[in-house]
Amino acid sequence: MSNDGGAPHGSDEPTSFALQPPNPPVRAPHPGNPYATPTAPATHGVRPAPRPATVPAPAPTSAPAPASAPSQDPRAGRLIAGRYRLIAKLGHGGMGTVWRAKDETVDREVAVKEPRVPEHLPERERANAFERMRREARAAARLDHPAVVNVHDVAVVDGQPWIVMELVRGRSLGDTLQEGTLSARDAARIGLEVLGALEAAHAAGILHRDVKPDNVLLGRHDRVVLTDFGIARIEGETDLTDTGGFVGSPEYVAPERVLGQRPGPASDLWSLGVVLYAATEGVSPFRRSNTPATLQSVLNAAPAPPASAQGPLAEVITGLLQKDPARRPDAAQVRALLEAAANPPAPEPTQAVTVADTGGRGLRLGRTTWFGLGAAVVAAAVTAYLVIADPFAGPLPQGWATRHEKDVAATLAVPDGYERTLPDRETDKKHWVTYTDQSGAIWIGLTLDKKSEDTGNTIADSAAAEMYEDDGDFKESGDYTLGMPENPKTAPDPKTTYQGGKSAQNTVVYTTTDSQYPRPRELRLFYYRTSGGDMYKLTVSYPGKGDFTERGREVARTAIANLDVDKL
């Protein structure tokens, strides 16, 4: 991952993680938890319009402070180890202060962690603190994973280690949760990234021992980073905790650690379970008014089932919060459940359709067809067409209706108000139709390639083969009509089913090639080949980031689930 040293100071980009209000008081995770009640009332049954969760704010390790309010400190401008020029404070914790700095040797911005140890501490404790920082650097440097912050250097100044890390531009999950909770899907997506970091650490013989929201950074481009290995335990090394001492955050620590037992990977997974609980419910279920009471609740309190997390996410949280580490799911089981929660199945279809939601990647259509669809989107954004609705064909979300399209021999489900565009039959002999929302941000396109008209024998023998052919074209050359560069991120799925037959699906994630206004886009495509050899391709395009992203994915799931072709 690039350090992005060339970005403007304090710049920040939103992620697609959307916030919702904290749960109302009746949903407090535990009746004895005084911190579970929101400080501001929440409106029952109402979620605000999605908004970016990442805004400029300091984070505990390597997130930047806003450019408008940098921390003023007389030490700003100091040169560390003849190389790292301190610029501004980003934040501080019990182990040190983090600075935004400039690596003048390679001309990039970095995060530098300055050791912070009170002068009055005995020499032994000061030495232990410095050794913990060295271990943090060694632990993180041993790991090669995108969800672990990169350590570039350890600069020793007057016997004290300064850790030099990549500058992750974003904010902590802890800061984010001060404004509201996450949806189950976003919590699962974050959980998957943290799990990946923990799996890499455990494979290297490292226990993190302090997994909590403040140590999870939400960076640019939806990157999730696990930070602060300051109290990590590396296999084979001695424990630095003084007799009677305790390291870690009490409300996230596993019961076996409270009891002084030897921890293992299951201890870090327990902490991940508490983080997931807090992400959806707004608070740790074990937080109490003081540390002894919190530790007692970790040992004995049975947290109420999560109110906002349902299905696989609730299952993984409940499993990870088992007091006995032997009864907790292992990393592979946790991953399977989180993937199911991050990629929920399509809504209950009107017809017998099974389509997996792959969450974001791959596709291709014939060049002429794509050009027609791309032009149709532009036309639909400025021209309203008469839409004639057929009789209601089954249960649909409120604000949706079905439209039978004779030219493509199928019935489409589309949201009300979407504008319809058809090809000019005098100049375009292809069979297609598009529906576009009035902003032009989201569009649905259905094409039909008829076997009887396929004189060049271009229709593949199966939906999966057609999908892979399209995927290869995108990888090789992208698509100029959609502003798609070559080699976009794709997620082909050749094993979906439709009406008992085989179908396929692909998702493409890319940034448009527009030199002045590049935009993130996401494209979902569903393929089905009829028994007579006709090929259907249903495409939904929408923004890859921002308020319209989740709406676009919802439109894609619903449109695919309710597609009804005339002849199977």
Query: What are the residue ranges of helices labelled H in 416-525?
Result: 463-477
Alpha carbon separation from 6 to 109, 218, 223, 260, 369 (Å, rounded): 8, 19, 18, 47, 40
Strand partners, 436: 419, 443
Report how far residue 180's alpha carbon sits from residue 85's, in angstroms, rounded to the nearest whole number. 36
Active site positions, annotated: 210
C-beta separation of 416 from 387 below 8 A: no
Task: List the structure tokens of 8.
Answer: 């403007």
Q: In the block, which residue shows the tokens 């532009």?
A: 378
Query: Which token pair is 373?
Result: 């669809």
Q: Which is nearest to 55 in space by CA: 171, 168, 167? A: 171
Two tokens, residue 415: 């949201």
Q: Which residues contact 287 (CB under 8 A, 6 or more apart)?
A: 33, 35, 36, 251, 294, 297
- Structural contact between residues 138 and 184, judged by C-beta atoms closer than 8 angstroms: no
Q: Which helix (H) or strand (E) holds 177?
A: helix 173-177
For 427, residues 6+ apart whose C-beta sits below 8 A from its C-beta are none
Strands (E), 340-385: 353-354
Sign of CA dihedral 175, 181, 185, 188: positive
Spell out the SS3 assignment of 118-138.
CCCCCHHHHHHHHHHHHHHHH
Q: What backbone torsions phi and psi does residue 541 show, to the nearest 5 degrees?
A: -120, 140
Q: DSSP labels for 60-92?
A: SSSPPPPTTSPBP-TTTTPEETTTEEEEEEEEE
| Residues 508 and 364: beta-carbon distance below 8 Å | no
Q: Are strands 181-182 and 206-207 parallel, antiparallel or unpaired?
A: unpaired
489 among annotated binding-site residues: no
d(CA 119, CA 123): 9
> Is the distance from CB of 490 to CB of 522 less than 8 angstroms?
no
Annotated binding-site residues for ATP read 113
Annotated binding-site residues read 113
